[in-house]
Chain A
Amino acid sequence: MRHTDVTLDNCLKCSDCNAACPVMTAHPRYPGPKHLGPELEKLRREGLPCDSEWLEYCLGCERCDMACPNQVNVAELIARAKAAHKKPLRRRLRDWLLARPGLLGQVISLAPAVANRVLALGVVRRLMSLTAGIAAERSFPAYARVKLAGVHGRSRGAERVVFFQGCSMRYNEQALGRDCIALLAENGIETEMSEAGCCGYPALANGDPAEARRRVRANLELLYQAAENGTPIVTACTSCGQMLKTGFTLLLGDDPELAAKARVVESAVRDLGEFLIERADQGHLSLRFGDCGHLGRLAYHSPCHQATQGLSRPWFHLLRMVPGIEIEDLNAGCCGMAGTFGFKQEKYPVSLSIGQRLFQAIAQAAPRQVVSECPTCRMQITHGSGVPSVHPATLLVMAYEQRKVVDGGGGGARLAS
């Protein structure tokens, strides 16, 4: 043991991490984070062979880290072991691709119309499941050609944020991007769409730390100047947020110069909800919401990476400020999607079985829409419960628009989908 990681010593084997692990409940034979993290690491240092197929089943939700009463870096230990895990060639190729959503997005968005149609074909999906191990049951999000770039919502003397889009927004959810811009503009803030690419989290989750390091290294340079100038770096994706707040130090912390830069960037990062609720706390949030009673019952699902950022459901509280909104916090654990995990054919059943608790809670709440900030949580929710899902930013923008509708007396309410 190097003296830098004596934290392994902190493990009391108490199993709090196991109790918090969503996979544990869904898969009776899954050995759990206590075993896959600190326990195996200790045995590994004894020189024993410690590779385990189960490492692949870790969602990377980091709930174990939050649960640990003794500050053991459980998730990080598992991630490191996962990176060293040996996989068969076919899965290696697939995971190589899943580790690079940016690359996938770039290629597909060359001819998105064709790609979208091809990807939607049943044969193609079955073919992908056979050759690439992608679950045929999953549908791919639609890709778009246009990209959001440049500065939006310019106005004189406005505050500015640098917006980190993430792959999902960049390639599939430009509409959400525009909603975020509108939301910020409504509050007198101009948005500079950053050129930064993938946050690196998918690479880390797919056991490819080298690729993750390349991503964060590039992003560090792109984001540093803004952070150094005191400009907030904002993202609407919770997994990107989690990565942007911790990943630079995790992957580049060995180099003292980069570590210093990493700290600057990481401390400038805000989840968009977090950013807005901070403003609300300071009385700087525009409260010009119209009545949104027409939205009907809503249910909120909090993504794992929202909680691991130490946030306490800022979007839920923001939405509750909107008059007429009826929203319930589902509080039903992890959805089971975990980014690219749920796309993998062999993990698909586990992914759905983890989500059962959430799907049941949704069925009970019977909402018109489920609200959640994480793009892959939303995919899973709609896939597993059949209920449409929406990012909270979209609803908040609608609330502002609703006020304008009332003020201006024209147009009708729009139901987000």
Chain B
Amino acid sequence: MDRTQVVIIGGGATGAGILWDLSLRGIAAVLLEKRDLANGATGRCHGLLHSGARYAVKDAEAARECLRENRILKTIAPHCIHDVGGLFVRYPQDDPAFFTAWDRACADIGLPTAPLSAAEALDLEPNLPSGILGASTCPDAHVDVFQLTLSNLQAAVARGGRFRAYAEVTAIERRGGQVTGVRFRDTLSGDEDSIDCEMVVNAGGGWAQQVAALAGLHVPVRCDKGSLLVLNHNLVTRVVNRCRKPGDADILVPAGPVCILGTSSITVSGPEGLRAETDEIEALLKLGTELVPCMAESRVLRIFSGVRPLYVPQGADKAGGREISRGFALLDHGVEDNLDGFVSIVGGKLTTYRLMAEKTCDLVASRLGVDEPCRTAETPLRPPTPEAVTRKIRHLLPAQAASIVERRLGPAMAQLAERIEADPDMAEILCECEQVTRAEVAMVMAVDAKVPVRTINDVGRRCRLGFGSCQGTFCGYRAMLEGYRQGLWPAEAAAADFKRYLDERWKGQAQIPNGKQLEQLMLSHDLFGPSHHFHSDGEG
């Protein structure tokens, strides 16, 4: 039996942000996540660090919130953000009245924008259609969601916070009107365990309703599915927004080597078993081609879907998904449902995860009688990297690999350098698309890693291995072997996990309508299909 002050349920950005915030305030906390970090909407979102411009016309309050958080995150977590900037592009087929409304709304909020002529915009983004009328800049950016979640967890763990993956909360224990702890099950091994605590925070995102039900409470959450298309190249170098009333497929986000088109909006019954429908994909691609015409012949890497958790209090209008404010709700179930020590944080956006964590932790701290203010807005998530360490890595690795790993590891590059100096073979690149070295994979797999891994997929969420165009065809196998070498898993388990890994990758690509990725998929089938005994059933 374990003890702590606060148990947080849900390892998305919100839960990770709460763990960090509580740890900074000196409150002991354990975060339980039923799969791995960013398993929910966090790992399946667009990765747009909103500037607020998208919401300016409709919801000035939400826009102001985004703008504030956008500025804060760029200062506390620059290593998680590609500060590429954004464009709101005026297409001839869209309503000109919206253009003026947008200009006015941004000015009212104090959102810095600058108008560009069509020629100027085309000069910056030559893949935009030549018929555009013009564009405006805005401070949108891309945020690496895995890196952001991981950084929050690592910072928290360094301060005594605890994160446990593959721990699904199965019951919330109560004595009378007071929460006393949770029971959870290890979803890989099936082992059961429990933790006693004074407070439980429900940061279950799209699962918030199910999590609350574990305490016998009802939290009304509507699941709004959105699907996204990952394209093999960054067809644009800035975030491209279509300047019109928010709709489907009107945002293209450059995300490092790829770019992501989204999204759709369809109400679904729950957060599990999501799948993009064929006509949904076709509609997205068709609209995407309006945004950037060369998308028609570009390679689609992957399609994925997530759910936006929309908080729908009783009596709210039941219109389409986008009609509900994107704001969030903090529910103190002590006040609302006479269950002391239980708090739910629902709704919101990735961009506002820190603010959601701040509000949640203010409430938790006051209930625990801790008088520590929130400091996440001014505390960098990661200490600066000593110049000598950067220089050493630049000497040890090729330029592009050094530059990528600088962002990802920062000061932890010191350990990377140690490993490579001890064994030069550690500089070998295991994942070619993302330029991940064997040394980094070994670090991720180390038993003393702050956020340990248990599967090949977990490795990807720590260092992007397998995220590129080959979708793990070559590096997945290498990672399996490296894990075996490190003693992370025995041979049997390694092969089984690799099979699961492949299955998931194959599933993710099978829906893609465009020939080029199917060739990649077939290559993977050829390499690892039935003839190699890695996969003997299903579509292989």
Q: A residues bordering B, Cβ < 8 Å?
A: 1-3, 6, 8-14, 31, 34-35, 39-40, 42-52, 70
Q: Which residues of B contact A10 (CB under 8 A)?
A: 299, 516
30 A-B pairs within 8 Å (CB atoms) are namely A1-B127, A1-B234, A1-B294, A1-B298, A3-B297, A6-B298, A9-B232, A9-B516, A10-B516, A11-B469, A12-B470, A12-B473, A12-B523, A13-B433, A13-B470, A13-B474, A14-B523, A35-B432, A39-B432, A39-B433, A42-B469, A43-B400, A45-B233, A45-B234, A46-B234, A46-B256, A48-B400, A48-B403, A49-B399, A52-B399
> Which residues of A are found within 8 Å of B432, using beta-carbon distances?
13, 34-35, 39
List B contacts of A2 (CB < 8 A): 126-127, 294
A12 and B233 CA atoms in complex are apart in Å by 14
Chain B residue at minimum C-beta to C-beta distance from A15: B474
> Does B519 reach chain A (CB closer than 8 Å)?
yes
Cα distance, A22 to B19, chains bound together (Å): 54
CB distance from B493 to the nearest CB of A (A): 27
Q: List residues 512-539 of chain B with CB under 8 A from any CB of chain A.
A: 516, 519-520, 523
Is A13 a contact of B294 with CB atoms below 8 Å?
no
B399 lies within 8 A of A70 (CB): no
In the complex, are the beta carbons of A43 and B516 less than 8 A apart?
A: no
| A6-B298, A35-B432, A70-B519 as given contacts; A40 in contact with B234, CB under 8 Å | no
CB of B235 within 8 A of chain A?
Answer: yes
Q: Contact: B299 with A9, CB < 8 Å?
A: yes
| Residues on B with beta carbons closer than 8 Å to the beta carbon of A44 | 400
Given known A6-B294, A9-B299, A52-B399, contact A43–B470 (CB-CB < 8 A):
no
A1 touching B470 by the CB < 8 A rule?
Answer: no
A261 to B235, CA, bound (A): 32
Residues of A within 8 A of B403 (CB): 48-49
Nearest-neighbour CB distance to chain B for A399, whole angstroms, equals 48
Given A39-B432, A46-B256, A70-B519, the answer on whether A3 and B127 have CB atoms closer than 8 Å is yes
Residues of B with C-beta under 8 A to A11: 469
Q: Determine if A43 and B523 form an interchain contact, defined as CB atoms under 8 angstroms apart.
A: no
Shortest C-beta distance, A16 to chain B (Å), equals 11
A12–B399 touching, CB < 8 Å: no
Measured in the bound complex, the distance between the Cα atoms of B387 and A404 in whole Å is 79
Q: Return A377 CB to nearest CB of chain B, in Å.
A: 32
Decide if A3 touches B256 in the complex (CB within 8 Å). no
Query: For the complex, what is the distance from the CA of A42 to the CA of B301, rounded to whole Å?
Result: 14
Partner pick for A48 among B232, B233, B297, B399, CB 8 A cutoff: B399
Residues of B within 8 A of A (CB): 126-127, 232-235, 237, 256-257, 293-294, 297-299, 398-400, 403-404, 432-433, 435, 469-470, 473-474, 516, 519-520, 523
Shortest beta-carbon distance from B508 to chain A in Å: 16
Q: Separation in Å of the A84 CB from the closest CB of chain B?
A: 13
Q: List residues of chain A with CB within 8 A of the CB of B523.
A: 12, 14
Set of chain B residues within 8 Å of A40, measured between Cβ atoms: 400
Complex formed: what's the CA distance from A42 to B470 in Å? 13
Q: How far is B400's CA from A43's CA once the two chains are assembled, in angstroms?
A: 7
A-chain residues with CB within 8 Å of residue B298 when the two chains form the complex: 1, 6, 9
Sample of 6 further A-B pairs with CB below 8 A, known A9-B516, A42-B469: A1-B127, A9-B298, A12-B523, A13-B473, A34-B432, A43-B435
Q: State how many angstroms separate the Cβ of B236 from the closest Cβ of chain A.
A: 9
Contacts A9-B299, A13-B473; A52 near B256 (Cβ below 8 A): no
Q: Find chain A residues with CB under 8 A from B435 CB.
A: 43
**Roughly how many angstroms separate A8 CA and B294 CA in the complex, as a whole number?**
13
- Complex Cα gap A45–B293 (Å): 19
* Contact status of A49 and B294, CB under 8 A, knowing A3-B127, A39-B432: no
**Which B residues are CB-close (under 8 A) to A70?**
519
| Cβ–Cβ < 8 Å partners of B398 in chain A | 31, 52
A43's nearest neighbour on chain B, judged by CB, is B400
Instruction: In the A-B complex, list the 10 residue pairs whose CB atoms are closest, starting with the nearest.
Output: A3-B294, A9-B299, A49-B399, A13-B470, A1-B233, A48-B400, A43-B400, A50-B400, A46-B257, A12-B520
Closest CB-CB distance, B432 to chain A, in whole Å?
A: 6
Residues of B within 8 A of A9 (CB): 232-233, 298-299, 516
**Contact partners of B233 in chain A: CB under 8 A:** 1, 6, 8-9, 42, 45
CB of A346 to closest CB in B, whole Å: 19
CB–CB A6/B520 < 8 A: no
Question: Is B399 in contact with A51, judged by CB distance below 8 angstroms?
Answer: yes
Task: Give the complex CA separation of A3 and B232 in angstroms.
Answer: 13
Smallest beta-carbon distance B230→chain A, Å: 13
Closest CB in chain A relative to B141 CB, distance in Å: 14
Residues in chain B near residue A42, CB distance under 8 A:
233, 257, 433, 469
- Nearest residue (CB) in B for A46 is B257
Q: Which residue of A lies closest to B523 (CB)?
A: A12
Cα distance, A2 to B257, chains bound together (Å): 14
Q: Counting chain A CB atoms within 10 Å of each CB, which of B234, B469, B474 scores highest?
A: B469
B516 and A50 contact, CB distance less than 8 A:
no
Closest residue of chain B to A44, judged by CB? B400
Of residues B126, B257, B400, B435, which shows the largest number of chain A Cβ atoms within 10 Å of its Cβ? B400
| Bound complex: CA A409 to CA B73 (Å) | 95
Q: Which residues of A contact B234 (CB under 8 A)?
A: 1, 45-46
By a CB distance below 8 angstroms, the chain A residues around B127 are 1-3
A8 to B233, CA, bound (A): 9
Q: A13-B469, A39-B432 are in contact. Are A1 and B235 (CB under 8 A)?
A: yes
* Nearest-Cβ distance from residue B424 to partner chain A, whole angstroms: 10
**Chain A residues within 8 Å of B257, by CB:** 42-43, 45-46
The minimal Cβ–Cβ distance linking B307 to chain A, given in whole angstroms, is 30
